[in-house]
Amino acid sequence: MAPTSTPQTPFGRVLTAMVTPFTADGALDLDGAQRLATHLVDSGNDGLVVNGTTGESPTTSDAEKAQLVRAVVEAVGDRAHVVTGVGTNDTHHSVELARQAEAAGAHGLLVVTPYYNKPPQDGLYRHFTQVADATGLPVMAYDIPGRSGVALSHETLVRLGEHPRIVANKDAKGDLGAAAWAIARSDLAWYSGDDILNLPLLSVGAVGVVSVVGHVAAGELKSMIEAYLAGDVAKATAIHQGLLPVFTGMFRTQGVILSKAALDLQGLPAGPLRLPLVGATPEEIDRLKQDLAAGGVHL
């Protein structure tokens, strides 16, 4: 059974976009996924997103995606929200993945803007609503034009928010003005999808984060959000500023690469990456150690 949620925080406040652990030969490591999920929840996450970009979803099969959901729900589903990525640039395939995720026990769906084929806003609207109509699960839209090639306009986001199961948006657009307009005009729960903008997005109405840095600093992110919500903006700002080296350091190259490197440094399950992604170089790992140390992350 999923943890308790509210309309304001349908998936909790601190979620990490979890990497997908693989074994040394590149196979799905379900035991490692369960151990990592348990560690992340113990560290302060009240939700996990699996099968997202940071979970290498472009290179995992549909069957692997279902297996991963089942494993993570089994490990932490009684105390954390397990949201799974089901979005593709094929609406029919996304509907199939949504139904598969519901059958596997997911608590919610992350649906990214269709990438590469650049649909118009009406096509985006119809894509999201068809996926949302396919199951009884709540949906978090994922607006990331840097990867998808097209942005969700704030008018479309407001329109999507009228759907009873589209309850949230993960914002990786980097446009605080557009976010402010959409938050003010909809009931969508807003989640920061860009770690360096976590605090700025809270200031315009976001309720939480879907973080990559949550792999190593979930407790600090939780403290920052709690301080901000309690009105202690100075404390929240101090935490945010202290984490700036981590926000920068985890993205000096592709975020999955350095997330897995950071987990390896901590002795946590991660494993290799699937091509076309490659592991961090020794120089990148040395710089990551410096960035994490500067941000107060102890390995």
Residues annotated as catalytic are 142, 170
Residues in contact with 212: Cβ distance below 8 Å, sequence separation at least 6, in sequence order: 16, 17, 54, 195, 250, 251, 255, 259
> Which amino acid would we find at residue 82?
V
- Specify whether the backbone of 56 is left (phi greater than 0), alpha (psi in -120 to 50) or beta: left
Of the CA atoms within 13 Å of residue 48, those in its CB half-sphere come to 32
Of the CA atoms within 13 Å of residue 257, those in its CB half-sphere come to 16
Evaluate whether 40 touches 12 at the Cβ level (below 8 Å): no
Q: Which residue has the tokens 């997103």?
A: 49
Tokens of residue 135, six digits: 């199951």
- State the DSSP code for 59: G
For 287, other C-beta atoms within 10 Å of its C-beta total: 16
Residue 210, annotated ligand binder?
Answer: yes
Tokens of residue 6, six digits: 């509210």
Q: How far apart are CA 15 and CA 213, in angstroms?
A: 10
| Cα 62–Cα 66–Cα 71 angle in degrees, nearest 5 | 145
Residue 76, annotated ligand binder?
Answer: no
Q: How far apart are CA 213 and CA 218, in angstroms?
A: 7
3-state SS string for 5-28: CCCCCECECEEEECCCCECCCCCE
The H or E element containing residue 297 is none
Instruction: Give the residue ranges of the annotated binding site for pyruvate.
Output: 54, 210
